[in-house]
């Protein structure tokens, strides 16, 4: 994966174009959230791409938390620091925080390990809908608005005990959904292993809005439309 094709940096100023962001979402993450379509009115850069850029440019620490403070667009110009620190916010051209990163522990700049982690995490993250989210909604008896399916990335965290070399795997280890009226919070859990030995774990959290009573027919249609969009892109 040549991650640099999906963003540009000049004098520590990060920019991501619509085509770059949409191509990353669809071709790397398998994420067909309409917010990442090039013609979306409420377009935003995938949080997974910002996560990937941060690791690629700044390195990976043993403990990291990423909080997505705002929706980054193709008009955003983000100021990257020179290196990781205990806590910092990446600001846009208006000094508005877009992403807050907290880190602790040893830092790795092992390109192979970092690239492997990025690939496996974003592919896992891109499976959120429909693979994981639909079952959670069914269990809770709620669903997102099919006409305006709004799923927003809130934060993610990762804990790594060892930057071991070998075959890195990321395995889904469960999910929860808490519903409060028309809003809900979703948390996905995953484990990391190298050559079968556990080396860490992590979480991904999202917010879903516009919840309504679950209707299987409406969900089936939404999933069919999502799958058709994916198939059309790949054909």
Which stretch of 25-39, 43-57, 102-116, 157-171 has the lowest confidence by average pLDDT?
25-39
For 3-234, CATH gives 2.40.160
Burial pattern 31-66, b for ≥16 Cβ within 10 A else e, equals bbbbbbbeeeeebbbbbbbbbbbbbbbbbbbbebbb
- CA quadruple 213, 128, 230, 48: dihedral positive or negative? positive
pLDDT digits (tens, 9 = 90+) for 196-209: 999 999 999 999 99
Residue 174 bridge partners (DSSP): 189
Q: Are 64 and 102 in contact (CB under 8 A)?
A: yes
pLDDT digits (tens, 9 = 90+) for 117-137: 999 999 999 889 999 999 999
Per-residue pLDDT band for 148 (boundaries 50, 70, 90) equals: confident
Domain ranges within the chain, ordered by starting residue? 3-234
What is the value of pTM for the model shown? 0.94
What average pLDDT does range 52-78 have in this prediction? 97
Residue 126 bridge partners (DSSP): none
Mean of per-residue pLDDT scores for the chain = 96
């Amino acid at each position: 994966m040549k991650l640099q094709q999906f963003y540009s940096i000049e004098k520590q100023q990060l920019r991501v174009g619509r085509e770059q962001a949409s191509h990353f979402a669809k071709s790397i993450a398998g994420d067909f959230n309409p917010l990442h379509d090039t013609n979306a009115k409420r377009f935003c850069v995938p949080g997974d791409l910002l996560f990937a850029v941060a690791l690629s440019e700044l390195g990976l620490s043993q403990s990291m938390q990423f909080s997505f403070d705002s929706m980054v667009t193709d008009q955003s110009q983000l100021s990257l620091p020179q290196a990781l620190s205990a806590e910092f916010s990446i600001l846009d051209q208006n000094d508005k925080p877009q992403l807050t990163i907290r880190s602790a522990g040893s830092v790795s700049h092992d390109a192979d390990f970092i690239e492997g982690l990025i690939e496996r995490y974003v592919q896992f993250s891109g499976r959120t809908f429909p693979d994981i989210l639909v079952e959670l909604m069914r269990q809770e008896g709620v669903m997102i608005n099919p006409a305006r399916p709004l799923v927003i990335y809130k934060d993610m965290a990762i804990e790594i005990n060892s930057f071991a070399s070998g075959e890195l795997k990321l395995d889904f280890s469960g999910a929860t959904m808490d519903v409060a009226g028309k809003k809900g919070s979703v948390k996905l859990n995953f484990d990391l292993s190298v050559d079968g030995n556990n080396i860490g774990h992590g979480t991904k959290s999202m917010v879903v809005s516009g919840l309504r009573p679950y209707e299987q027919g409406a969900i089936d249609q939404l999933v069919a439309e999502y799958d058709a969009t994916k198939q059309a892109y790949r054909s």
